[in-house]
Amino acid sequence: MDTSRHFGFVGLGNMGLPMARRLLAAGHALTVWNRNAGKAAELVRAGARLAATPAQVLEAADVLGICVKDGAAVESVVFGPDGLASAGPRGSRKLVIDFSTIEPAQARDLGRRLRERTGASWLDAPVSGGVPGAEGGTLICFVGGEAADLEAARPFLAPLTARVTHMGPAGAGQTTKICNQMIVAVNVLTIAETYGLARRAGVDVERLAPALAGGFADSLPLQIFGPGMAAGRFEPTRSAVELMAKDIGISQRMAAELEADTPVSAFCSTLYESVRAQAPEVFTGDVAGLVRRYT
């Protein structure tokens, strides 16, 4: 294993922290930054260096990963005060990998602007698999950008992912992730409706996911979130409704721009927005909590 290059990580939330932890466990030198520096404490104890700014991470690292909440957060850590772009020419020949889920057009724009300011390359590389995948190194990664940059990124990606697919030029990784999220967002709402209906009909809902396992209705979301819906166990670290709503919202803006007909996803997006308006405690919680809308 090549551990000669220095890696960096910006954003130590529910996904970023276990990803950074895995890079350290693989023996890589690691510099990290997080808006709340306290979240980096365990990584520092394990040997990571804590930077004072995102720019310092880019200056120290050969390859840097970003994993933050949304497009505004990515914009902030790249072009905000002391952001990556502040490194200027010291970022030349560096590689930035963005694991966040953002608009494909924004991914293309961020990469272009950062390259102009610093000479650094950019890959949009959103992931699927949630917190369990981040903890276990089994994330599925969709990559947009130059093939040569992806090859340079592979030692960074190896401890984090089970599969990496190069989807095409800049923005293609984000487009693929939004396709993924369209399927997931519709699926989890349908699962919540199903559990609500089954409970009202007197079915033992704790048996529902095991009963459907292996059939055409089976899915990872059913097996992950179904038991939580049955038991009333809502764990916000798994997957927040507001993030699902953000992603399905991106799909609808893309559909409008491309004149694509997506009526099911459009209705799904409307339902998520109704949850925001009517049940904010559900909107900010785990997607398993959607079942509370239907029971």
Q: Which of 126, 124, 127, 164 is nearest to 145 (CA)?
A: 124
CB atoms within 10 A of CB 287: 31
Tokens describing residue 233: 């166990």
7 phi and psi angles, rounded to 5 deg: -105, 160
Selected catalytic residue, list 69, 94, 177, 246: 177
211, 271 in Cβ contact below 8 A?
no
To the query of whether residue 177 is one of the catalytic residues in this protein, the response is yes
Ramachandran quadrant class, 138 (left: phi over 0; alpha: psi -120 to 50; beta: rest): alpha
DSSP label of 51:
P
155, 185 in Cβ contact below 8 A?
no
Ramachandran quadrant class, 56 (left: phi over 0; alpha: psi -120 to 50; beta: rest): alpha
Tokens describing residue 81: 């005060």
CA distances 248 to 24, 101, 181, Å, are 33, 11, 7
CA geometry: angle 123, 175, 22, nearest 5 deg: 45
Q: Which of 239, 248, 274 is nearest to 186 (CA)?
A: 248
State the amino acid at position 9 in one-letter form: F
DSSP label of 99:
-
Q: Which of 159, 189, 138 is nearest to 24 (CA)?
A: 159
Tokens describing residue 151: 């090859």
Catalytic annotation, residues: 177
